[in-house]
Amino acid sequence: MNGLFHFFLSYAIIQLSWGYAREFIVLIFIASVIIDIDHIPYILKTKKKLMSEGFGEESRSFMHELPGVLIVTVLCLGLFLVYGVDVARVAAISSLLHYAADFAVGRTRPFWPFSDKVLVSPLGITDKKKRIFLEVTSTIIGGVVFWLLLG
């Protein structure tokens, strides 16, 4: 899923669960989007072929797979020890929702770099046009929910 969708999803879940998303909006944005920074080398490598090849499992580093979940969990423990439970909760929920959304609709190598085995979610959409439709509609719906929750 795209960065905007990840941000909207995290904001909505935190706002509906604890009611203080607006207070942590920058942290929510950073924690929900920063995981996708590992796509940059793939984008630079594929360049013009990016639109035809998309973001498959090859576009992810180990930080986008289960080893990354472990590292992010340890980082959130550090945030808890330094800044307290609310900051740690917001960072953990935002980043873990990112992993959950990506695992739910995409192709993944969960044990990379220890295994090359690719898993495809039963919810994963491989047809390009359907995938773009899912990304666009879910992001628009997420944006509307975000806008309503800001009010």
Rounded alpha-carbon distances, angstroms, from residue 16 to 2, 20, 61, 86, 125: 21, 9, 31, 15, 28
Residues touching Zn ion, count (CB under 5 A): 2
By C-beta, is 36 or 65 nearer to Zn ion?
36
Question: Is residue 65 a contact point for Zn ion (CB under 5 A)?
Answer: no
How many angstroms separate the CA atoms of 56 and 10, rounded? 22
How far apart are CB 90 and Zn ion at their closest, in Å? 18
In this chain, which residue has its C-beta nearest to Zn ion?
102
Rounded alpha-carbon distances, angstroms, from residue 105 to 1, 61, 108, 138, 149: 8, 17, 9, 12, 25
Q: Which of 102, 108, 109, 139 binds Zn ion (CB under 5 A)?
A: 102
Question: Is residue 36 a contact point for Zn ion (CB under 5 A)?
Answer: yes
Dihedrals phi, psi of 122, to nearest 5 degrees: -65, -20
By C-beta, is 37 or 85 nearer to Zn ion?
37
By C-beta, is 27 or 35 nearer to Zn ion?
35
Whether residue 109 contacts residue 119, with contact meaning beta carbons closer than 8 Å, is answered with yes
By C-beta, is 18 or 46 nearer to Zn ion?
46
> Which residues here bind Zn ion, judged by CB under 5 A?
36, 102
